A and B are shown apart, each in its own frame.
Chain A
């Protein structure tokens, strides 16, 4: 049977692998919905990472961090879902269906930047 600390290290490594995959999908994701899904998974995996941190440092207070991240992450996901449903599709709602065109992608990038600028 493997040691508990070794198991903790392995679990944290695997969780970070999942986080890195989600970050790659967040960067390359062709549509806005892909990015929102990956943000959702990132917040969920951060809760797991907070729990593993509380095991690593033997401080139970890190669980509060996980609870707060879970609460805020759900609200952020709901808000982003409302946003991609109501946002204008890059001023090109006539031509946008079924083609992930370069204009749509550049509109995505512009939207993402304008979001990250607001506090």
Chain B
């Protein structure tokens, strides 16, 4: 039972990690690349680490796993927000077909 659960969690975690990398490589824009890397990457790491907790069945290991997952879930949005703000303020070019840029429209309107 637990072995099949570990197998499923491992494969799913590895798949999400690969999806995050491919998305980072293929998307055309900084903000879209952040979308791929933060969400899929965090989910992949969380699944992989939870499989370790199920494998060892130990209190200390489970505590560490909970720490790692909660820390990643807390810090990934903060880091993505900081990078996105920095990228926008340094005027990193957006994707060509981008239609709406509310922030710039508002600041240029006076």
Contact = CB atoms under 8 A, between A and B. Distances in A.
A-B complex is real? yes
Nearest to B37: A41
Contacts, number: 187
A13 B10 CA distance: 11
B14 to A, nearest CB: 3
State the main secondary structure of chain B at its contact with A.
Answer: helix
Interface residues of B, number: 56
Interface size range of chain A in the complex: 35 or more
Interface in B29-76: 30, 33-34, 37-38, 41-42, 44-45, 48-49, 51-52, 55-56, 58, 60-61, 64-65, 67-68, 71-72, 75-76
A14 B9 CA distance: 13
Interface of A: 1-4, 7-8, 10-15, 17-22, 24-25, 31-34, 36-38, 40-41, 44-45, 47-48, 51-52, 54-55, 60, 63-64, 66-67, 70-71, 74, 77-78, 80-82, 84-85, 89, 96-100
